[in-house]
Amino acid sequence: MSFRITAIITSFLLFTAAVTSWVVAQDAPAPAAAAESSSAESQPAESTKPAKKTARDMIRHVVLLQFKEGTSKEKIAEIEQAFASLPEKIEEIADLEWGLNNSPEGLSSGFTHCFLVTFNSDADRAAYLPHPEHIKFAGLLRPHVEEVLVVDYSPQPKSKKKDSEKAEK
């Protein structure tokens, strides 16, 4: 049953990546239009500096893993290392951090590992999902995972503490 869920999620992620890539491509100017707009005689020079990225441009990709009972510590360590090494192989990953569940609340539903992958844009995530190294990693992981939960989000602006709260500390 969980293999089917994983296969469905993987298919959905690949479909989402393809759609996102298509949408990004639709926003790019056509080559002829780009050449016309770059003519120095007809238009003033525009800044070539890229638009400043904000936290809301970023995508956080949260992956929670629950390993199958009986998965060896050595295999889990191999999977941890393989996931942690993805930024060296996939340039679209801006950051990756991970850790083991240590919540005292008892609400982990059996998930033991949390991986947080950061992308600078939707386009970077779209390139990551079908990337051969990501697919290779998923092949290593799949036989050993009981459950996987993936949640992606764009960070919202941080709330600012009132000056009185800062003074109390």
In a domain, 32, yes or no: no
More confident residue, 80 or 44: 80
pTM above 0.75, yes or no: no
DSSP one-letter string for 155-166: PPPPPPPPHHHH
In a domain, 35, yes or no: no
CB burial of residue 134 (10 Å; 0-12, 13-18, 19+)? buried
Work out the mean pLDDT of the chain and round it to a whole number.
77
Give the tens place of pLDDT for each residue, 63-77.
999 999 999 999 999
CATH number of residue 146's parent domain: 3.30.70.100
Q: Provide the residue range defining the domain that includes 65.
A: 2-26+55-155
Give the tens place of pLDDT for each residue, 108-143.
999 999 999 999 999 999 999 999 999 999 999 999
How many independent structural domains does the chain possess? Answer: 1
Whose structure tokens read 């290593």? 140
